[in-house]
Amino acid sequence: MNRLFLWFVKITGWPIALFYYRKKVICVDNDKSLKKIKGAALLVSNHTSVYDYPLMMFTFMGRSIRTLVAEIMYKKTPLLSKLLFKIGAIKVDRYTYDFAFMAKLIDCLNKGELGLVYPEARVPKDHERDHFLEFSPSYVYMALEANCPIIPIYTNGIYGKLKKKYHNRAKVVIGRPIDVASLYKDNLDEKENINNINNYVKGRIEELKLYLEQYEKKEK
């Protein structure tokens, strides 16, 4: 990761992002401290678009985010592939059994960095957008191995809407940190624990979706 290049991208891209996303960050219970993440943590969010990562990058401007990116993005153009490398993205090949990406992200978390994972692993199709896709549990292993909290996040995926209406804004809902280690039960085997924690995190993100719906009703 080239930190100077990353900051150059953030500073020069900020005005464009401001116009494109019209972002609004909502913290659960209006706790603004949730935006100020210190030390290692793993952001876990639903996935709506290839533009989700830039949204996260401009939501947590003060932190460098190491995100997992699918192999298909590296095949689009050589320029995009090089850009992803420079900003610190970690390549994931979904069609092989190469789990090197896990070791790379765990290493970043152990160094106190901020990670980002989209457990749905792909953008949902139009007919799938009323519910979350199945969550791949690999992120749970990484959070446990690095002994870091998971930050649940929900995004509504509304990007590039030019009409100046409240509901046409990109919204990011930040939940309270999840202490993953405290959810691990000694009376269960590893697979059962991983599945239970995965379902718990998914449920928390689903709650954030409902939280946003209630929030928007009050704002009308």
| pLDDT the model gives residue 4 | 83
Task: Give the bridge partners for 70, in sequence order.
Answer: 92
pLDDT tens readout for residues 142-157: 999 999 999 999 999 9
- The predicted pLDDT at position 219 comes to 76
Domains of the chain, first to last: 3-219 (3.40.1130.10)
Q: Using CA atoms in the order 192, 201, 35, 103, what is the torsion angle rounded to 10 degrees?
A: 40
Strands of the sheet containing 41-45, edge to edge, are 24-27, 171-174, 150-155, 41-45, 114-117, 65-70, 90-92
Please report the pLDDT score of residue 8 as a whole number.
87
Residue type, 40: A
Tokens 């624990």 label which residue?
A: 193
Single-letter amino acid code for the residue at 97:
Y
In terms of C-beta distances under 8 Å and separation of at least 24 residues, what long-range contacts does 91-99 make, across chains too? 92/68, 94/70, 94/121, 94/122, 95/71, 99/138
- At 81 the pLDDT is 85
Which pLDDT score, from 0 to 100, does residue 66 have? 95
| Amino acid at residue number 1 | M
pTM: 0.92
* Beta-ladder partners of 154: 173
Which residues of the chain, if any, have pLDDT below 50? none
Residue 161 is predicted with a pLDDT of 64
How far, in Å, are 2, 18, 100, 155, 213 from residue 165 at the CA level? 37, 15, 44, 17, 16
Predicted pLDDT of residue 169: 86
